[in-house]
Copies of this chain bind each other. A is one copy, B any other.
Amino acid sequence: MKALVLTENEVEIRNVAIPEPQEGEVLVKVLYAALNRRDQWIRVGLYPGIRQGSILGSDACGIVEKVGSAKHIAWIGKKVIINPNVNWGEDARHPQLSYTILGMPSHGTFAEYVCVPVHRLHEKPAHLSDSEAAALPLAALTAYRACFYKGEISAGKNVLVTGAGGGVAQFATQFASAAGANVWVTSSSEAQIQLLQAKANIKGGVLYTKADWHKDLFKFTEKEGFDVIIDSAGGNDFNLLIKLCKMSGVIVTYGATLGTAKIDIPSLFFRQATIKGSTMGNDQEFADMVEFVSKHQISPIIDSVRPFSAIVEALNDMAMGKVKGKIVVEM
Binding site for B on A (CB under 8 A): 48, 91, 93-95, 234, 239, 247-248, 253-256, 260-266, 268-279
Contact = CB atoms under 8 A, between A and B. Distances in A.
Q: Which 7 A-B pairs have the closest CB atoms?
A: A268-B277, A269-B277, A256-B265, A94-B247, A94-B272, A275-B275, A93-B248
Nearest to A239: B260
Contacts of A270: 48, 277, 279
Central interface residue in A256, A261, A269, A279, by most chain B CB within 10 Å: A269
A256 B270 CA distance: 12
A280 to B, nearest CB: 9
B271 A278 contact: no
A91 B227 CA distance: 15
A265 B94 contact: no
Nearest to A264: B260
Contact of A272 (B261, B266, B275, B277): B277
Given A93-B247, A272-B277, A277-B273, A261 B255 contact: no
A251 to B, nearest CB: 9
B265 A277 contact: yes
B262 A262 contact: yes
A265 B274 contact: no
Contacts of A269: 253-255, 277-279
A91 B246 CA distance: 13
Given A272-B93, A274-B275, A263 B260 contact: yes
Nearest to A97: B247
Given A247-B93, A273-B277, A255 B263 contact: no
Contacts of A263: 234, 260-263, 275
Given A270-B279, A277-B270, A265 B248 contact: no
B260 A94 contact: no
B277 A276 contact: no
Contacts of A91: 247-248
Contacts of A271: 94, 277
27 contacts: A48-B270, A93-B247, A93-B248, A94-B247, A94-B271, A95-B272, A234-B265, A253-B268, A254-B269, A255-B265, A256-B264, A256-B265, A260-B262, A260-B264, A262-B263, A265-B277, A268-B275, A269-B277, A269-B279, A270-B279, A271-B277, A272-B279, A273-B276, A273-B277, A274-B274, A274-B275, A274-B276
Contact of A266 (B256, B264, B273, B276): B256
Contacts of A247: 91, 93-95
A233 to B, nearest CB: 9
A255 to B, nearest CB: 7
Nearest to A145: B272
Given A256-B266, A261-B265, A266-B256, A94 B248 contact: yes
A331 to B, nearest CB: 31
Given A256-B265, A263-B263, A271-B277, 15 more contacts: A48-B270, A91-B247, A91-B248, A93-B247, A93-B248, A93-B272, A94-B248, A94-B272, A95-B272, A253-B268, A255-B269, A262-B262, A262-B263, A272-B277, A274-B274
